[in-house]
Structure formats: C-alpha cells, structure tokens
Structure 1
Amino acid sequence: MSKTIFITGASRGFGKLWAEAFLKRGDNVVATARNLKDLNDLVSQYGNNILPLQLDVNNRADSFAAIAKAKAHFGTLDVVINNAGYGLFGTIEETTEAEARNQFETNVFGLLWITQAALPIMREQGHGHIIQVSSVLGIVTLPLLGIYNASKWAVEGISESLAQEVKQFGINVSLIEPNGYSTDWGGASAAQSAPMEIYDGVRQAFSETGSQEGLFGDPAATTDAVLKLVDAENPPLRLFLGKHTLPWAKQVYESRIAEWEAWNDVAIAAHGN
C-alpha cells in the first residue's frame, strides 16, 4: 500500500535520493526545497505523485502551511522525514553568534516546527512516523564541528522525549544516524567560520582523518535501509547508516562508562544521604 511521505531538503543529497526511491515504488511524495527548480526532474518524471513545495524550514508559519498543504493535497500524512540541515565547520572560539544561531535555526528549530505541525494530523489519523535525520555526531563528537554536534545532540534529545510522548497515539519516531557519506554536505552545502591561525594544527589533523580511504559511504546505498525503516511495523528509535557508526559509538560509550565508573564514588557521595 502506497504511503504519503513529506520530506524536507529534497533538492539534493539524501533528500533527493530518498524522494526518488519512494516515487519509484509508487508512494506519494511532498518534496520541499528552497529552490523548486532543483525538483523539476522529479516533477517531469513522476507527475501527480509528487507535490513540490518551496520552503525555508526556518519560517515556522511557512512550515505549518506546508504540512497543511500536504494533507489537503494527498488526504493523509503517513511519514515525515526531517532531512533539511547543513554543517557548520569551525572551532567553538571561531564561531560567530550569527553562525551559531543560524545553525540551530535550521537543524533544530526547523525540524521542531515541521514536527509540531505534523503531530495533530498524525494524532487524528491514529498513525504516523516521524523520521529525524540526525548524525553519528549526535552521539559522538568531532572537533571543528562543535556547533553542528550540539544541534544534532539537541535533535536526539527532542526526538527521544517525543517518542515517549506520542507512542500512545500510534505515532512512531525514528532517528537516522549516518556516518560520513560522499554528498556535498561538507562542500557547497556547508558553512565555514573564519579561521584563526592558532587552530591550524587541529584543522590539519581533522583533514588527515577525513582523507582516510573508505571513510565515506555511497549515498545511493542508503535507500534500501530507509525504505525498510519506513515500512517497518515496529521501527527502531535509532537507525545507524554506514559501517563505521556502530564501532565508533561502542568505542566512545565504553570510554564514557569507564570514566563514569571511575568517578562513581564521588558521584554517590554527592548524593548526600
């Protein structure tokens, strides 16, 4: 049975690949983008099965209006994929106020507005699936991506709480957590803070790590996983994408637990009774 799927940031990268995968199998897709010209190829190929909408997710009113248009056009709203977002590269000290606020406006608040708009519709239907595109950097961190890390950690917190709140209404929530992929996320789609020379060593080490062979996955290889997630009767709260994600997460969490246990006597004493 076909589904109606609303996906933000569908003009390129994961968003466009996934939108086309849904359309190929006969789903209805509401695809949002800042520039509708980027969706012309999908519109010409899939016709009435796609509803292209111009949207800047930073605008709360426009986000609510887009969700309402999707429901009015297709009559249902089965899946929402919050994919819109971008990376901000720069150390914490280098990041300006505007850069930090803009990162959160898109990666966190844009996602929040779309989620809030979809919930009443899904609640009334008695079913729905909200999928948030997070990152492995929502559970681990890298230097030079501190504000991006923070935005994805915020997405993780929002979504894990949301999952507990809306399960009673038949609404599922999932987080997609990819490792690095060969998209333009780190290129044309990214923002860069003005560099300070004192951090050149950090940048050099970061660049060397990022040049490792086999580090980045093939974006096209993610489509089957996303289709399985959308079709799952009991979807997971978190879905890793890529071969590096789980080993990295395990390494980091083992280190965290060891440190917490090493300091547990101090923690217990601080309880006071």
Structure 2
Amino acid sequence: MDVTDRRAVSDAVEQAAAAFGRLDVVVNNAGAMLCGMVEEATEEQIRAHMEVNFFGAVRVAQAVLPHLRARGGGRLPQVPSTGSGGGMATVGYYGAGKAAPDSVSEALAMEVERFGVKVTIVQMGGHNTGLFTAGTTHTGPLAQYQPLRTEMEAMWGDAVAPEPDTAAPVIIKLAALPDPPRRLIVGSQSFDHVLEMGRARTDLYRSCEHLSRIAPG
C-alpha cells in the first residue's frame, strides 16, 4: 500500500481483515530515507519524508486500531529506528522522521493498553530492505559541507546490511509474548549502539548538572 494515501491504507487494512477473518498482529514499518545536511533539504523534500515516516505510520495505526480494539486485543509493533534517539549529520531528517512516531507510540501504548492492544516500539538497525537505495532521496549538496560529507561517508563504510528475514524471528517471538515490552532493540550491534547513545547522553547531562540545578523548575 501507499502509506501517504489514507484511502489506500484504509482499503488495504479492510482487505487484510477480510482475507484473514480478523487482525491479530500488524507490523507498522514503512519508511523512507532523506539523506543530506539540514540546510540542503527543500521544504518539499522534508514534507514528503514526513508523509511516509510519520504521517504514514499514524495512518496505519489509526486504520488498524478499530479492528484490534473490537476483538479485544492484538499486537502493534511500531518500527521507528535505532536512530530515533538522536540526530546525526546527513541523516538528521531521517532521525526526526523516526523520533516523531517513536514519541507518539509511547502515548499510543498507554491509550490502547486497556483494550488489550499491546504496542511495542521496535528499535531496528539497518536491514537490506531497499531503504538505502530505492528508498532514499538525496538533497542537493552544498560545497561547504563536502568535507563533513566525506567524513560521514567514510564512517558509514561499505558494510552490507543483514537481510530482513534475520529480524523476522525476533518479531514473531515478540508477538507471541503474553506481556510484550514497551520497547525492544533488534540486533546485537544495534543493542550496543543504543545503549552507548544512552550512556553518552547521560554523561553529557551529568557534566552540566551544576548548571541545570540553578533553576528550581
């Protein structure tokens, strides 16, 4: 389905419900990549990016929840990214596009839990889904950022992302849990990366704690 088209989302959900008789598990994982520096992106590119990564995720959730609520339960794994925890040069808009559904999913989990619907924020590392090729839009490069762009390209390297089917067993086990967690990191390297980002942020907060505590609020 095209998640930027609300009618297409609604029709696909209704077709799936009719085909299977009901909906039990819906993995909400459509996404796209906008690659480039913050200054380089056009407003049209930014809006198109958010239409997929944020509004698309919201449309799918809104379309499936009446089905899950009506049957008194279900699983809704929401798939932002390990990158939703913070921005990084050249992929800042991707991080923003994933941080928004991450935050909304926290609220959603609280709102629908009483109906037996369990939402899990699945922080997924990069997989060979076509995101980095067909799913990527590039900004028009500004020469001033070329040194940083070169540094970032060297950091990304040429590593081949794992196939999506390597993550599928994790999602299947997650959906079968009687009380699935609110958050789950998928991938050994991703697990280490997310924890390291959290430690780095905590260290940064602590380094300026004396300044933070001047204000009473």
The two structures have a TM-score, normalised by structure 2, of 0.92
1:110 pairs, out of 32, 56, 69, with: 56
1:182 pairs, out of 99, 117, 128, with: 128
Residue identity opposite 1:151 in structure 2: G
1:217-273 per-residue CA deviation (whole Å, 9 max, x = no partner) reads: 34332121121112222222222222221222222211211222233333333226x
Corresponding residue for residue 158 of structure 1: 104
How far off is 1:81 after superposition? Answer: 1.2
Q: Where does the alignment leave 5 or more consecutive residues of structure 2 unmatched?
A: none
The two structures have a TM-score, normalised by structure 1, of 0.74
Corresponding residue for residue 231 of structure 1: 176
How far off is 1:178 after superposition? Answer: 1.9
Alignment of 1:1-273 (within 5 A): 55-211=1-157, 216-271=161-216
Q: Which has the higher strand share?
A: 1
Q: Where does the alignment leave 5 or more consecutive residues of structure 1 unmatched?
A: 1-54
How far apart in 2 are the matches of 1:79 and 1:221?
A: 19
Q: 1:184 to 1:117 in 2, by over 3 A?
A: closer
Corresponding residue for residue 47 of structure 1: none
How far apart in 2 are the matches of 1:79 and 1:202?
A: 42
1:124-178 per-residue CA deviation (whole Å, 9 max, x = no partner) reads: 1110111112111011332101111001000110111111111111000112222
The runs of 4+ residues in structure 1 deviating greater than 6 Å are none
How far off is 1:212 after superposition? Answer: 5.9
How far apart in 1 are the matches of 2:151 and 2:188?
A: 22
- RMSD (Å) for aligned C-alpha atoms: 1.8
Structure of greater relative contact order (alpha carbons < 8 Å, 6+ residues apart): 2
How far off is 1:69 after superposition? Answer: 2.7
- 1:79 is paired with a residue whose SS is coil
How far apart in 1 are the matches of 2:109 and 2:187?
A: 24
How far off is 1:192 after superposition? Answer: 0.7
How far off is 1:115 after superposition? Answer: 0.4
How far apart in 2 are the matches of 1:212 and 1:180?
A: 13
Q: Is the 8 A contact 1:88 1:147 kept in 2?
A: yes
- Percent identity between the two aligned chains: 31
